[in-house]
Structure 1
Amino acid sequence: MIVIKKSVAVNVLLAVLFFYSCNQAQVIKKADNQKIEIEPKVLERLGDSVQFNLKVSLPNASIRKNELYAANLVFTYGNNRYKFNNSLMVSGDTLDPHAKIEVSGRFSMPFLAGMEKGALQLQSGITNGRQEIEDRAPEITLTQGIITTASLAQIGQYRGQQMIPVLGTHIAMDSPESMGMLADQWQVVEEMLAAYSNLPYTAKTPFLEVLKGPGDWSHKKWKMEGLPHFVELNREVFSWYETNYHTQFESKREGISDIQRSILARNIRQGTVSADTLSEQELAVAISKEPGWSEQEQLLRAMEEVYPSPFVYNNLGVVFLNQANRVTDTREKNQLLENALFAFNRSNAFFENPHAVYNLGLVFWLWGDKFSAYNNFYRSLALTRSDQLTKTYEAALGAVSIFNGDYSLAAIHLNKAESNPINLFNQGLANFLAKDYYNATIKFEESAIQNMSNGYPFYGLALVAARNGEMEKLYENLEKAVNRSDFLRNRAVADREFVLFHEQEKFKEILRKK
């Protein structure tokens, strides 16, 4: 009798285990029988992040009331794994057993170095009550690699060029925009307004407020044009100020020759004579003659002690900015960018000017904060009416818009920029990413014609050829690009734009040759 009971118990246990094993297999099969859609099919870097949409469809009635379906994502690159905080989940308790089962979500992850070669993987499973099935559905690779073409947008960042680009806008003493940037700022024109007796003080007050407000001289004059009595004051005060400003600046200190100024500037750098041995204007000229960044820094720091001004702090910030663009050590680079940030803020503390605001945008650009960079570039545009400066700021706005994935906006900005090799390349890049390959080709070719030593436009033409399947053009232009730039050679090895050609012997041969 006891033997019979034991036999029954064993049979019941075996039946339970068999039922559980079948149920487990069914659950795994249900999780494995999912239909997965990802958009875009190949991930793309936009700005500093990678974003995509994911949708999973399951067979009708495949999840019971006491079950929970979950799909978790991970991005693997090298020895690193990025785990997403959110996942796709759906509970059987919330489902209509006769309805189609779909669950979707939008995902985002920061773009980190090395991710361009990684893979996005999904692992799904079903929880049965509170007991999770251990044997999940096999991990699925959804997509491999990340397209980073938008990051080719240029604002002069250093990428192994023979000639390191110069970043930032100096305040040059030979331009109309330089007025009001020295230590006396608007003192001369304020005194002229005060001395003008044909108008009461109340009529002149709005003009003084504009002078003390934001913007360069071109912006201030534009603001004053809308004020009563502008025509009269422009004729009697402002025109004279404009005419005589640079004449006064160019007048040399009596008895000081170019050679003497150079010797005194060297002594100021070495600390053997006081900075005020030279006038503010003479120091500004001496700084413009110095080819080295460290020499400029020494003179500007000396000038800061005796003639602090928007001019000094903006140009000192430009020095730090370019020093940062020439170092590889991250800690040193960040310290130099901090110095630049402080200097540009000091320049703006006198009065907000487009030079320092634009240059702040470049600091954020090098830091990877493209949102802040765009805001500063846009603000600088509002602080000037100078045609030349406007073109510079439009070019920067176009480059950041490409990086952020807004190609239409990029085209609008770049159409207003100067037609130089960098801006033409950026225009071609914006067209290429918008899938306008005809106009992309035209702009890349125009960029190449202006500077045949630059590898970027040839790389752009290779990208167009790759998308169009034109192998001969691809190899011809890729060879020109990598022969001109080791940065582009190293990039092409992992560039997802060329994924269909990476194993081609001709492609490998081009990258091997130097």
Structure 2
Amino acid sequence: MLDLLFKKKPVLLLFVLFPILCGSIIMPETDFLEDSKVVPGKLEFIRDSVRFEVTGTIPIESALSPKNPKINVLLKSSENSLLFEALELTKNVGDYSYNQSFTLAYEPWMEGAFLEIQFFQGKKALDEPYQKKVLARGVITTPLLAKVGKVNYDEPIPQVGLFISTGIMDTDLSRSKEFLIKFDAGSSTIKMNSANTQAIADLKTFLTENSSVLSFKITGVQSPETAEGSSSKLGMDRAEAVNRLLKESNISIRDSLLEVSSRWNDWFDFRLLLREYEKISTQRKDQYYAVLLNELDYQTQSQALRKISGFNQVASDLFPNLRVAKIEVVAKPLLGLNQAQSMILQKALEQSNGNSELDMADWAIAGETTPRLEDKAKIYSKMTELFRSVIPYNNLAVVKMRLAQRTLDQEAKDALWKEANELLYQAAKIDTNPYVLHNQGQIMVLQGKTWEAYKKLSDASVLTRNDNFLRYNESLRGALDILRGDYKLATLRFNYNYTEPKDFFNKGLAYYLAKDFANASLSFEESVMAGRNYGYGFYGLAMIAAESGQAEVALLQLDRAIHSSELLYQKALVDPIFEEIRSTDEFFQIFRPAASKKEN
């Protein structure tokens, strides 16, 4: 019947076949999103927002293709998503074009999100797009790495707030000193020659003058010389020998403060000696540092160093100084009230009246020298009853701030911040004080009020030229400059002598974001040297290596970073900075040991 119909009316056959022919000829398989792109290619957090532009064209291949096109943009993570309104399309002769800019207020879920463009066609609303394409994965949130005092559960609690000090316990009272016990080549036997005898005598004098020991490290070191052996045993034997010598010399250190270790096949100590070596030019030193900082293995670095002109003379001068055990001590004088004063203080704390035989300076010293925050709170609280002064109000506020750092309960934390702010308000009524302004700014930072905090910290800097205060205040101010996107200005804030790894890291971060990678590398290296267990310095070095295309170096540094901090471990998995190396087997290899460790 159909055959007969088609024979009589061949036009009808053509009409039936036409849609099929159109489908195979006029509607080929087309990648309608082929030239879709996002600018910048990697999304970035800048000044509390994410800004990008989506552009592209949809080719028009015939009158029937495409049908009623629509372009959607979706930002999506495992926990949240944001679907934007359909892009406005401009119909041209051979295509539809689109170009649209977006500015989003940054939210934490966006860091691990991906940006997807979707193509729909047809008159009916469809749930699934005809085609889709990922334009970008993750958001670069490097400025948010700035250390501003926030607590991460797997890291040491950051110290926040500044006490107004009498000067008795200023930070410069904590002193660090290094003492060297020297050995013959290949030996771990201590000879009590004049140099070693003097070192022990100097150590005893130092501990007598600074009886409050904060840390005590003994590190056995080996020179790269052949006579020093081919294993790390010699370095540890030297460290243990020194430990025994100290006990025999009646130098007793608590086990909780004592750290005994060794270094072998490590150019760290050689690099320290090279800094003070004056027999070679600065240009020649730069050649050495280029090798020492390239993060290649010890043997490769050793071969490269030996090729530098004049190395034999440098080795002859410096290597003997590496046949040592280093004693590194951080200590301070033990200060405070005498026994009689302490009894008067205790009696005053137990009484409800507003009288005291001690003057304000005695009370302030008692507050400073008391180690427990709870005891400080009692002393400063009593002082607010006895004296009309900024000091007790400010210092009690700092106690509240530091207690807030110790709790994970946000409600309790908010209550302590509120109490601290009320105390600071009372202090400000008595006098305009830079410490009060700094502490108000620090609380605002922790509450996420970045712009208000910056104003407080800026006002604080104007009120004093005290270097110790400015070192802390400008460090926090520089960290806020990073968050505010003023990277070059941030680099100017760190022109102080820092000792904390976090400050060196913030300084490196400022230089990194300002694209000054040379100074950034030096600062991250200083962060590592100030705290070898502080992973952020290694993360910074990994970012620089990734930026310069040094994949192997980036992986080495990243390996060290992620095993020191859970936050860095999670961040590295989504950070677009490492996108080019994330697809490699080597990248996931460095995460496997950490995963295995967690399972065990």
- TM exceeds 0.5? yes
1:320 aligns with 2:400: yes
8 A contact 2:53–2:102 mirrored in 1: yes
1:426 aligns with 2:426: no
Q: Is the 8 A contact 1:167 1:321 kept in 2?
A: yes
Change (3 A) 1:416 1:136: same
1:351–1:82 distance in 2 versus 1, CA, 3 Å: farther
For residues 151 and 564 of structure 2, the distance between their equivalents in structure 1, rounded to whole angstroms, comes to 14
Within-5 A mapping of 1:256-335:
258-269=338-349, 271-274=350-353, 276-277=355-356, 278-335=358-415
How far does residue 484 in structure 1 lie from its aligned partner after superposition? 4.0
Per-residue deviation at 1:44? 2.6
**For residues 402 and 147 of structure 2, what CA distance do their matches in structure 1 show?**
15
Distance in 1 separating the partners of 2:102 and 2:47? 17
Aligned match of 2:417: 337
- Of 366-375 and 260-269, the range deviating more from structure 2: 260-269
Contact 1:458 1:481 in 2 (8 A): yes
Q: Say which of 464, 467, 474 aligns to 1:394.
A: 474
Q: How does 1:16-415 map to 2 (within 5 A)?
A: 32-33=32-33, 35-59=35-59, 71-78=71-78, 80-83=79-82, 87=85, 89-90=87-88, 101-113=97-109, 115-123=110-118, 125=120, 136-160=129-153, 163-174=156-167, 258-269=338-349, 271-274=350-353, 276-277=355-356, 278-415=358-495
In structure 2, the residue matched to 1:208 is none
Report what 2:590 is aligned to.
507
Runs of 4+ in 1 over 6 A off after TM superposition: 60-64, 95-100
**Equivalent position SS for 1:164:** coil
Is the contact made by 2:389 and 2:430 (CA closer than 8 Å) also made in structure 1? Answer: yes
Question: Residue 275 of structure 1 contacts residue 303 of structure 1 at CA under 8 Å; is this kept in 2?
Answer: no
Answer yes or no: is the 8 Å Cα contact 2:49–2:103 preserved in 1: no
In structure 2, what is the Cα distance between the partners aligned to 1:141 and 1:357?
47
1:288: Cα distance to partner?
Answer: 1.0
Q: Deviations over 1:283-315 (max 9, x none)?
A: 222211221122212222222233243222221
SS for the counterpart of 2:44 is: strand
Give the % identical residues: 25
User: For 1:92-123, what per-residue CA distance to the aligned partner results, in whole angstroms no more than 9, with x for missing partners?
Assistant: 7xx7779973331222133225x432222334
Q: Is 2:525 aligned against 1:439? A: no
Q: Does 358-367 or 38-47 show the bigger shift?
A: 38-47
Kept in 1, the 8 Å contact 2:115–2:136? The answer is yes
Q: Distance in 1 between matches of 2:578 and 2:500?
A: 27
Q: CA, structure 1 residues 346+136, in 2 after alignment: closer, same or farther (shift >3 Å)? A: same
Give distance in 1, aligned partners of 2:425 and 2:61: 62
Amino acid at match of 1:166: Q
Q: Which runs of 5+ in 1 are unaligned?
A: 1-10, 178-255
8 Å CA contact 2:33, 2:133 repeated in 1: no
Q: Which residue of 1 aligns with 2:535?
A: 455
Q: CA deviation at 1:172?
A: 0.9
TM-score (norm 1): 0.67
Displacement of 1:513 after TM fit? 6.9
Whole-angstrom CA distance in 2 between matches of 1:96 and 1:454? 57
Larger displacement relative to structure 2 (477-486 or 394-403): 477-486
Alignment-mate amino acid for residue 506 of structure 1: Q
Q: In 2 relative to 1, CA 105–163 (structure 1 residues): closer, same or farther, beyond 3 Å?
A: closer
Give 1:363 shift. Answer: 1.0
Does the residue aligned with 1:276 lie in a helix, a strand or coil? coil
Assess, with a 3 A threshold, how the Cα gap between structure 1 residues 459 and 275 changes in structure 2: closer, same or farther. Answer: farther
**Cα distance in 1 for residues equivalent to 2:429 and 2:368:** 24
Q: Shift of residue 396 of structure 1?
A: 1.4
SS at 2:591 equivalent: helix
TM-score by length of 2: 0.58
Aligned to 1:200: none
1:68 CA displacement: 8.7
User: Whole-Å Cα distance in 1 between the matches of residues 495 and 458 of structure 2?
Assistant: 16
Q: In 1, are the aligned partners of 2:384 and 2:392 still within 8 Å (CA)?
A: yes
- Equivalent in the alignment of 1:187: none
Query: What is the SS of the residue equivalent to 1:90?
Result: coil
Supply the AA of the counterpart residue of 2:541: L
Deviation track 1:20-71 (CA, whole Å, cap 9, x = no partner) reads x99xx99xx999457433122222334544332333444579999xx99764
- Alignment partner of 2:532: what SS? coil
Residue identity in the other structure for 2:144: S
Distance 2:534 2:575 in 1: 19
- Aligned equivalents of 2:540 and 2:70: distance in 1? 42
Q: Which amino acid aligns with 1:104?
A: Q
Letter aligned with residue 406 of structure 2: R
Shift of 1:463: 2.4
Conservation of the 8 A alpha-carbon contact between 2:477 and 2:493 = yes
CA separation of 1:337 and 1:75: change in aligned 2, threshold 3 A: farther
Q: Which residue of 1 aligns with 2:231?
A: none
Structure 1 CA distance, aligned partners of 2:503 and 2:422? 29
Asked if the contact 1:70/1:87 (under 8 Å) is kept, the reply is no
Q: Which has the higher helix share?
A: 1
Instruction: Give per-residue Cα distances to partners, 1:327-379, cap 9 Å, x unaligned.
Output: 21222222222222222222223233211111122112112222222222222
Q: Distance in 2 between matches of 1:321 and 1:160?
A: 17
Q: Say whether the 8 Å CA contact 2:37–2:55 is kept in structure 1.
A: yes
Count of aligned pairs: 407
Sort the Cα spacing of 1:349 and 1:98 in 2 relative to 1 into closer, same or farther, 3 A.
farther
Q: What are the ranges of 5 or more consecutive residues in structure 2 without an aligned counterpart?
A: 1-11, 171-335
Contact 1:34–1:59 at 8 Å: present in 2 too? no
Query: What is the CA–CA distance in structure 1 between the aligned matches of 2:359 and 2:162, rounded to whole Å?
Result: 23
Q: Structure 2 counterpart of 1:111, which letter?
A: E
Distance 1:467 1:473 in 2: 11
